[in-house]
Structure 1
């Protein structure tokens, strides 16, 4: 069967009693996870959801995420995972843009009222017809009482399994359509990349958000595909992570550089770091380059070499990775994974000369490349040509075929592992009554890699508006990782002859 949910079906058949998910005091065997996902599928079918329909999901790292994720897939529908930090207006946009007919949302907490935001967005949405709120206890889940059996719907390899939203230079987020074969083949490539042995299953510490492609493919789907255990941490905390690593015998850790920075900074008192590290087999990093000193310190303290990789939502996401068992080449994103080709191209798509000093934009071809941007044929045509996807990231390649990123996609800000494109923020800030002109850019930050800064030219007669007022206004309207923490007022911004803002001179 080609359905991505077959990963869960087949692992359950082989290892029904293995522990699939651990979260706090809750433990789910593969049999229990599969049954709960079957109940979700039964609920959706009863609600009129069929093959090809889109179903959105807002949920932090809780057992609900894989339960609903695989339940949607079992019904033959497409999963649309949403960032849990999105505010109502942003959620409504995603629901309508993806044509979602149903929406699952965790009720949230006082600090993160996902459920309240979801209800507001659902009421604003023009197309979504069903909202299912997920309460704190799974016993009261909306599928409670439904049959626990379901025959997974067969789908075509090229049908869309997941739509992952990614920001773009044109401002509004675009949905990358990932086929069942894209997602399946990308996760199965992990068997070779990470030297996985199903007879000795890994225990994965799940700290990367599952709505993001990195956590979804490498951690969640990787664990399910190879009969591993997911130990969920809804929000990363270094000391708590180390405690979980020890208590649950974690062997596989995947994180962004700031998480490694946090683990290295965790105090030894109260946490037995050596014992926590003793079982660690694989450490994976992505999102941005891991500094050389972090590589060395992590190896020294945890006894494991961090493997770095590279990918995008549009590539399911993994495109290249370090070679397991080899010494890392600090700063390198590794080599293309099995079944994937990479090359460097110029602006006109022409190949860059294949020599070590050559620099060009990374282009990717293989089983991992998306079908396209949902409902955006022009954007798809700009991004994909003859099967090659142009990444927007500038790199060089050494004589051994290892790639090194030298610059990011134009204007993109990478804050704490999240891609943020300034255009979307600029467009919102321009609707503030006091803003005449604005440029948003990333500035260096020790803990997040980059912080978001807005340089604003105010309109006349708005002297009473402060920088803090702009920050607070944006915070109400943007996800927590997007709004600018820093605002600076200026009398003018440098412009080109054609009126474009010269950000490099700001």
Structure 2
């Protein structure tokens, strides 16, 4: 086990107070950039305060506000305003289909849904069926959330640190998404923990093109920029040409990436001539970065990639390769302060293993979730004896650097997104021509992993990948759709008559 280092409590007890402090220190400092739109901290605070009061008037305080939004200035304001209103934010992936959205809204029971105009036609009927009282449509062709003027509205009193702040849904091995409950205090202390290993520069400029509905972009983009009173430069999505242009145009200092992004940019024709002179720090998360990619990036850009490890259930940051280093390729660094990480045997989860031995990673610290919403059995399985059992397999080296070796959970990471095969399998089982199905991951040079669907058609039904593809597209986000289809008369089984996924992975 890596010895636990200490860190002082954050100067601000919530990220809302971090915003207020930044606005007081640098009211005219540039806070958010998205395309042609630019917003200073005075305007950012005004938008958050005004929208927070509006959400309170709608009865959201003490309840939940769901946000279905792409990357934008409005998305940042909606997130912070929800927290400032004393409500729990439920960030939803804008790639969700109506089928996926319905299941989460029914479980989360939000009072308000804030949705991009482009998604409102799909989301509106789903929200009404789920009993959502209010739908607020923002974005192009609708309202903007930065319309309040500074001083028009004061922030509500700050929420208590032990009150709920985020309800972030993550996939489940049962095929049902689970809502992770995080408090204001857990989020704020995780910012301070990350800062202890990766100190930011005051007024830094941070580029974010990963989804702001995802825990990684929220922690390492949205909240990081508030802490340093920096500028968050937002791209709607990863597009290589736009990324390369934005790095130079916006004088980016901190670059947030994933293995897919780093690999894709290195292969892009414009990479060699792009200017990276202002970039001093790069972060990678979501899945393991190949060592060769890390080394090529460092040599080309001149800034190292600091890899880290975390989970939505852990606030989300657990470890990072620290600044100033050393950065150890192939590892996810050392635990953040106030965090204990142990490697234990996979059978009982009780025997602590020595350095070099592989086992399940268990953790404890102030950033860990309170539990899964309305899932007492799954909460009890994940939180045992004061520890969060991650389901990941790892090992410490002699110097206390952690490496991730495998996943105990049946999960595939596609382009940085967690995909639980059971969810895809449930959709396949719902098709009338499918008798049996199993989904596994395979290595993919671009996405990290890709999904392979093994399907047994019902007697008399012909194998039809196009029909199954159309069926999945109606019910699953694009990244959850299998990239490869394999048909057979039967799936391999274990001695316990369970589908042998290890055998499928070897085929």
Scaled by the length of structure 1, what TM-score is found? 0.94
2:132 aligned with 1:122, yes or no? no
2:298 & 2:456 partners in 1: Cα distance? 47
2:500 & 2:72 partners in 1: Cα distance? 44
Structure 1 stretches of at least 4 aligned residues deviating more than 4 Å after TM superposition: 142-147
Larger mean CA deviation between 260-269 and 336-345 belongs to 260-269
2:139 & 2:195 partners in 1: Cα distance? 35
2:260 aligned with 1:249, yes or no? no
1:211 & 1:374 partners in 2: Cα distance? 18
Contact kept in structure 2, 1:132 and 1:142, CA below 8 Å: no
Deviations 1:20-44 (A, max 9, x none): 0011111000110111111211211
2:53 aligned with 1:53, yes or no? no
1:90 & 1:120 partners in 2: Cα distance? 13
2:487 & 2:187 partners in 1: Cα distance? 45
2:147 & 2:285 partners in 1: Cα distance? 38
Which aligned pairs between 1:256-267 and structure 2 lie closer than 5 A? Answer: 256-267=258-269
SS in 1 for 2:276: helix
Q: Which residue of 2 aligns with 1:317?
A: 316
1:142 & 1:312 partners in 2: Cα distance? 30
Contact kept in structure 1, 2:319 and 2:335, CA below 8 Å: yes
2:117 aligned with 1:107, yes or no? yes
SS in 2 for 1:93: helix
Matching residue within 180, 187, 191 for 1:183: 187
**Aligned-residue RMSD, C-alpha:** 1.7
SS in 2 for 1:393: strand
Contact kept in structure 1, 2:111 and 2:133, CA below 8 Å: yes
2:288 & 2:378 partners in 1: Cα distance? 28
1:446 & 1:299 partners in 2: Cα distance? 19
- In the alignment of these two chains, the number of paired residues is 491
2:141 & 2:37 partners in 1: Cα distance? 10
Larger mean CA deviation between 69-78 and 479-488 belongs to 479-488
Q: Which residue of 1 aligns with 2:177?
A: 173
Q: Which residue of 2 aligns with 1:335?
A: 334
1:409 & 1:353 partners in 2: Cα distance? 16
Contact kept in structure 2, 1:253 and 1:283, CA below 8 Å: yes
2:28 aligned with 1:14, yes or no? no
Matching residue within 466, 469, 476 for 2:467: 469
1:355 & 1:253 partners in 2: Cα distance? 32
Q: Which residue of 1 aligns with 2:41?
A: 30
Contact kept in structure 2, 1:414 and 1:449, CA below 8 Å: yes
SS in 2 for 1:191: helix
Which aligned pairs between 1:60-209 and structure 2 lie closer than 5 A? Answer: 60-108=70-118, 114-125=119-130, 127-136=131-140, 140-141=143-144, 148-198=152-202, 201-209=203-211
Closer/same/farther in 2, CA of residues 312 and 432 from structure 1, 3 Å limit: same
Matching residue within 476, 491, 494 for 2:492: 494
Q: Which residue of 2 aligns with 1:483?
A: 481
Q: Which residue of 2 aligns with 1:111?
A: none
Contact kept in structure 2, 1:54 and 1:101, CA below 8 Å: yes
SS in 2 for 1:308: strand
Contact kept in structure 2, 1:471 and 1:486, CA below 8 Å: no
SS in 1 for 2:160: coil
Closer/same/farther in 2, CA of residues 145 and 343 from structure 1, 3 Å limit: closer
1:420 & 1:328 partners in 2: Cα distance? 29
Larger mean CA deviation between 79-88 and 156-165 belongs to 156-165
Q: Which residue of 1 aligns with 2:343?
A: 344
Which aligned pairs between 1:353-392 and structure 2 lie closer than 5 A? Answer: 353-356=353-356, 358-392=357-391
Contact kept in structure 2, 1:334 and 1:403, CA below 8 Å: yes
Contact kept in structure 2, 1:470 and 1:487, CA below 8 Å: no
2:453 & 2:282 partners in 1: Cα distance? 35
Task: After TM superposition, give the deviation of residue 454 of structure 1 in Å.
Answer: 0.9
Task: After TM superposition, give the deviation of residue 155 of structure 1 in Å.
Answer: 2.5
Task: After TM superposition, give the deviation of residue 499 of structure 1 in Å.
Answer: 2.2
Which structure 1 segments of 5+ residues have no match? Answer: 109-113
Deviations 1:286-315 (A, max 9, x none): 112111111111111100111000000001
Task: After TM superposition, give the deviation of residue 268 of structure 1 in Å.
Answer: 3.5
Contact kept in structure 2, 1:471 and 1:487, CA below 8 Å: no
Task: After TM superposition, give the deviation of residue 387 of structure 1 in Å.
Answer: 2.3
Scaled by the length of structure 2, what TM-score is found? 0.93
Task: After TM superposition, give the deviation of residue 348 of structure 1 in Å.
Answer: 1.5
Contact kept in structure 1, 2:117 and 2:141, CA below 8 Å: no
1:145 & 1:184 partners in 2: Cα distance? 26
